[in-house]
Amino acid sequence: MIDGYALVILLAAAVGFIIFATAKVNLHAFLTLLLAAYGTGVLAGIDPQEVATLVTDGFGGVLGYIGIVILAGTIIGVVLERSGAAIVIAESILDLIGEKHTPEVMAITGSLVSIPVFCDSGYIILSGLSRSLAERSNRSLATLSVALAGGLYVTHVFVPPTPGPIAAAGILGADVGLVMLAGIVVSIPVTLVAAKWASYVASRFHIDPEPEVTMSDIKAEYGRLPSRGQAFAPLLVPIILISLGSIAAYPSADDPAFVAGTLQSWLLFIGDPAVALLFGAFLSFTIVPSFSDDIIDEWVSDGLTNAAVILAVTGAGGAFGSVLGALPLEDFIGNTFSGLGIGLLAAFIIAAALKTALGSSTVAILTTSSLIAPLLGSLGLASQWGAVFAVLAIGAGSMTVSHANDSYFWIITEFSDMETATAYQAWTLATLALGIVSIVWIVILRNIVQLVA
The pLDDT tens digits along the chain (453 residues) read 777 778 878 888 887 888 788 767 888 878 988 999 999 999 999 999 999 999 999 898 878 867 887 788 778 877 877 787 877 877 787 778 777 788 998 899 889 888 877 787 778 767 767 877 787 778 899 999 999 999 999 999 999 878 789 889 988 989 888 999 999 999 999 999 999 999 999 999 998 887 655 556 656 766 677 888 888 898 888 878 877 887 776 555 455 545 456 788 888 898 888 888 899 889 988 887 766 666 778 888 888 887 787 788 778 877 887 887 788 765 565 555 544 456 789 889 888 888 887 777 888 898 889 888 888 887 888 888 999 999 999 999 999 988 876 778 888 887 788 888 888 899 999 999 999 999 999 999 999 988 886
In degrees and rounded to multiples of 5, residue 376 shows phi and psi of -55, -45
Question: 0.75 exceeded by the pTM?
Answer: no
Tell me if 415 sits within 8 A of 122, measured CB to CB: no
Q: How far is CA 121 from the centre of its chain?
A: 13
Distance from C-alpha of 36 to C-alpha of 42, rounded to nearest angstrom: 10
Q: CA-CA distance, 119 to 84, in Å (whole number)?
A: 17
Closest CA to 150 of 184, 109, 178, 179: 109
Residue 24, CA atoms < 13 Å, CB-side half-sphere: 6
d(CA 63, CA 54): 14
Report how far apart, in Å, the C-alpha atoms of 32 and of each of 19, 39, 147 are: 9, 10, 33
Which residue intervals of 114-175 are DSSP H helices?
119-137, 141-158, 163-172
How far is 364 from 371, CA to CA, in rounded Å? Answer: 11
Taking the alpha carbons at both ends of the chain, their separation in whole angstroms is 40
Residue 421's domain comprises 4-452
d(CA 55, CA 321) in angstroms, rounded, equals 9
Domain count for the chain? 1
